[in-house]
């Protein structure tokens, strides 16, 4: 993915729904199409990497509903290649929606992962907390306090809640 792809995806996931007025819908549609294109490119690079070999997808296609998918990459590669986008161009279906489990792992899990170096921008973490009883549940900050205590997060911004 290019830096522009990464910025477009960040905008799409973080800003698009907050600013839905023109020209955002047109930009959003372009980014959605790019996500589809990236997923199909990933699919072809994995399952059809070499025309001289057998079609790996033809062997696996009928077993996908019963086969967990595990992507083993370095932390840096995991942030650069969105494996969750992998999709079969023929059925237009994302692989992650059919596999019973879609897992990311690091090849050397016994070691502390080396996080990719970031630019001056902050690291954004999406924390989804289930609070079905709303205000009667444990407060958001209580759940997120472990992250705050770690000292790796400077401030927490609560975007909103869904009821």
How confident is the prediction along the chain (163 residues), in pLDDT tens digits per residue? 888 998 999 899 888 888 888 999 999 999 999 999 999 999 988 887 665 556 778 778 888 888 888 888 887 777 777 888 999 888 888 888 888 888 888 777 666 667 667 666 666 677 777 777 777 777 766 767 766 666 655 565 655 555 5
In whole angstroms, give the CA distance from residue 109 to residue 37: 31
74 in the same domain as 9 = yes
- pLDDT tens digit string along 142-156? 767 766 666 655 565
Cα torsion 139, 144, 145, 149 to 10°: value is -170
129 in the same domain as 119 = no
79 in the same domain as 22 = yes
Distances (CA, A) of 51 to 48, 61, 89, 161: 7, 18, 17, 49
Structurally, the chain folds into a number of domains equal to 2
Residue 157: φ, ψ to 5°: -115, 120
* Contact by Cβ (8 Å): 82, 38: yes
β-partners of residue 105 are 72
Structural domain that includes position 134? 125-163
pLDDT of residue 35: 94
């Amino acid at each position: 993915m290019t830096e522009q792809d990464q910025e477009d995806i960040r905008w799409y996931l973080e800003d698009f729904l907050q600013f839905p007025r023109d020209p955002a819908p047109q930009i959003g549609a372009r980014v959605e199409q790019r996500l589809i294109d990236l997923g199909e490119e990933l699919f072809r690079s994995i399952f059809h990497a070499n025309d001289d070999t057998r079609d790996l997808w033809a062997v696996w296609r009928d077993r996908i509903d019963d086969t967990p998918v595990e992507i083993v990459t370095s932390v840096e590669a995991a942030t650069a290649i969105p494996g969750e986008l992998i999709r079969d161009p023929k059925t237009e279906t994302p692989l992650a929606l059919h596999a019973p489990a879609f897992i990311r792992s690091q090849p050397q899990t016994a070691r502390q992962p080396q996080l990719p170096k970031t630019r001056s921008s902050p690291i954004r973490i999406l924390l989804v907390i289930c609070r079905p009883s709303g205000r009667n549940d444990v407060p958001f900050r209580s759940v997120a306090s472990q992250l705050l205590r770690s000292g790796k997060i400077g401030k927490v911004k609560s975007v909103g809640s869904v009821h």
